[in-house]
Amino acid sequence: MQRKTFTRTLLALAVSSLLIPLAAQAQAVKLTLGHGAAPGNPRHEAAVKFAEVVKAKSGGRIEVQVAPSAQLGDDAAMVTAMRTGALDMSANSQGAVANAVPEYAAFGMPFLFSSAAQAFKLLDGPLGKELSDKSAEKGLVVLGYWDNGIRHMSNSKRPITRVEDMKGLKMRTPPDTVLVDIMQALGAEAQQIKFAELYVALQQGVVDGQENPLVNIHASKLYEVQKHLALTSHMFQMTPFLMGKRSWDRLSEADRRAVTEAAAEATALQRKLSQESEDKLLAELKAKGVQVTTVDKAAFEKATASVDAKWLTTPIGPYVKKVIAAARTQ
């Protein structure tokens, strides 16, 4: 009897010794989330919030390391890394993602949206679902569409109020083909420079100006090297919050649910922070000595009409047409 009890005890210990490392392994889900924004930017604040919420929802099983300020490479490099499984997640940029999933470019047509809220009405509906499906085909899982703002132009040379003022300016753009088309249509020279290198490029005069939402101009202190800000509102850009499909497929159903729910909370926070910052930041930029002008919007729209026409003839033309039609019927 004692021998049987001893044998059962040994078996129980053996089984438990096997289960302990398996349980520990199941709990240890470590993910890395990279992005290109500076701390203080709504993108970073929302990424940190996501990490906190997903850890809580998973009972501490999922830990997310947030790497801001392009520590893991620029947006284009992070898109590639997600698709190959080298990076788990990224709050990325519309232009860089469009290089892998061209349909993202549709939301960047010039002067299509006067507010981010108008764009999100489309992104939170069937057109956003279609974009998510296209992303999955290219190895990217959409967790949310974040707000990268309505974009404006700054430069160190002169105030911009007319299309003619753009002629000959060397303007930095991100890796976004639509933005390059817009700059060229306005008579400027587009030069692609990584965002992490932009401040120094402006400081050293490599380029005359750049374009970004106010939150990026403020958070990265571009006002220190740019005297003139024109409220052009030439383009809306989202920040696609993505996970590589290879990383997604490794998660259990419970962990996918935790990630999805945390992403929804982070998306709501990021959009809220981004919208709240606009009016406040404009006043702060003026107080720092930036000269702010408005532009002849009708003339700028007319000058960039060729951009819509060009993209309607591309392979993603049918999707572009649907986005333009939906935006203009709001």
Domain membership of residue 100 (yes or no) is yes
Residue 327 lies in a domain: no
pLDDT value of residue 277: 85
From residue 1, give the alpha-carbon distance in Å to each of 10, 12, 13, 94, 295. 14, 17, 18, 71, 93
How is residue 28 written in tokens? 């240890």
Q: Residue 22's pLDDT is what?
A: 44
How many domains does the chain divide into?
1
Residue 59: other Cβ atoms inside 10 A:
10
Pull the structure tokens for residue 161: 């109020």
Kindly state whether residue 246 falls inside one of the protein's structural domains. Answer: yes
- Please give the pLDDT value at position 82: 98
Could you tell me the two tokens for 271? Answer: 């959009």
Give the pLDDT score at 28.
84
Residue 330 lies in a domain: no
User: Which pTM value belongs to this model?
Assistant: 0.89
Q: What is the model's pLDDT at position 26?
A: 59
Each residue's pLDDT expressed in tens, for the chain with a length of 330 residues: 444 443 454 344 444 444 434 444 456 899 999 999 989 899 999 999 999 999 999 999 999 999 999 999 999 999 999 999 999 999 999 999 999 999 999 999 999 999 999 999 999 999 999 999 999 999 999 999 999 999 999 999 999 999 999 999 999 999 899 999 999 999 999 999 999 999 999 999 999 999 999 999 998 999 999 999 999 999 999 999 999 999 999 999 999 999 999 999 999 999 999 998 887 899 999 999 999 999 999 999 999 999 999 999 999 999 999 999 999 998
On whether residue 172 sits in a domain, the answer given is: yes
CATH number, domain of 64, equals 3.40.190.170
Residue 328 lies in a domain: no
* Alpha carbons 187 and 163: distance in angstroms, whole number: 8
Domain that holds residue 244: 2-322
Angle at 210 between CA 206 and CA 211, to 5 degrees: 165
157 assigned to some structural domain: yes
> DSSP string covering 115-172, please?
SHHHHHHHHTSHHHHHHHHHHHHTTEEEEEEEEEEEEEEEESS----SGGGGTT-EEE
Q: Is residue 287 part of a domain?
A: yes
The per-residue pLDDT for 271 is 97
Q: Could you tell me what percentage of the chain is helix, strand and coil, using 3-state DSSP and rounding each to the nearest 5?
A: 55, 20, 25
Residue written as token pair 């703002």:
149
